[in-house]
Amino acid sequence: MSSEVDLESEQYEKHREAGRILSQVREETADRVEVGASHLEIAEYAEDRIRELGGQPAFPVNISIDEEAAHATPSIDDESTFGEEMINLDIGVHVDGWLADTAITVDLSGHDELAEASEQALEAAIDVIEPGVNTGDIGAEIEGVIDGYGFNPVVNLTGHGLGHWEQHTAPNIPNRAVSQGTTLEVGDVVAIEPFATDGSGKVTEGSSEEIYSLEHERSVRNRQAREALSQITEEFRTLPFATRWLETDRPEMALRRLKSSSVIHGYPVLKEDDGFLVSQKEHTIIITENGCEVTTE
């Protein structure tokens, strides 16, 4: 984007509104996470609260436990409760398709330093962001802080741009130093999300999958699949959604059919090796003339 961008235009005001709703919901939701609380109730509390405050969930609330880093959300009849674990909440809001994305670690496991590493890495990254900064330099700040705590950044997860009805767009914001980065410009809207781990720093795909998004719209014969597709295209468009959001009967079967027809694709849970922990902190920012504005503070 050029420096002629009008940061007071309607789209940026909607980004800001999404951020205001999201910062309130993040704090209220994090306060409810305690040993014995229900994953499903926490996720539904956050998603309902977003709607009450005038936004819509931009994706299902991610509740990642211990070695999980992303894409974990409760199933329809999930009975999981929190234990003495490291819990990452990743929450998104959109207002008319303009997005905000944030995450916080609620540590019930006693690993304060790991949670602090991702939080301090985010602060260091935000401190260097201004027009003309290279994303590789942002990654170097993140990596330097996390290394300083004696942990590893998760190198195959990145921050990202936020588009209109698009949760992940260019540019990627790496969590380590890279030589071939992208230059940020006034008007760019990006989510910065350091992940710190006491593991190797690489996540892999697990077997469970509760989050999906539309890939190709095409006709399907099965009634439940048609009903699900109608809701997906009207309500979620290209944004990720959860199985538990679908209003058709037998939603799992509908999703299997849509997936086998390549109408939707799934997001398997991403995780470190068993026995290791991942912390996460994320804010959405707008690049301004003289630095940046954090919309999810």
Catalytic residues: 90, 101, 160, 168, 193, 282
State the Cα–Cα distance between residues 70 and 66, nearest whole angstrom.
11
Catalogue the long-range contacts made by 109-115 (C-beta closer than 8 Å, 24 or more residues apart).
Answer: 109/66, 109/84, 109/85, 109/277, 110/84, 111/86, 111/198, 111/277, 111/279, 113/149, 113/150, 113/151, 114/86, 114/149, 114/151, 114/196, 114/197, 114/198, 114/277, 114/279, 115/86, 115/279
The string of DSSP codes covering 214-245 is E-------SHHHHHHHHHIIIIITTS-EEGGG
Query: Residue 77 in contact with residue 64, Cβ under 8 Å?
Result: no
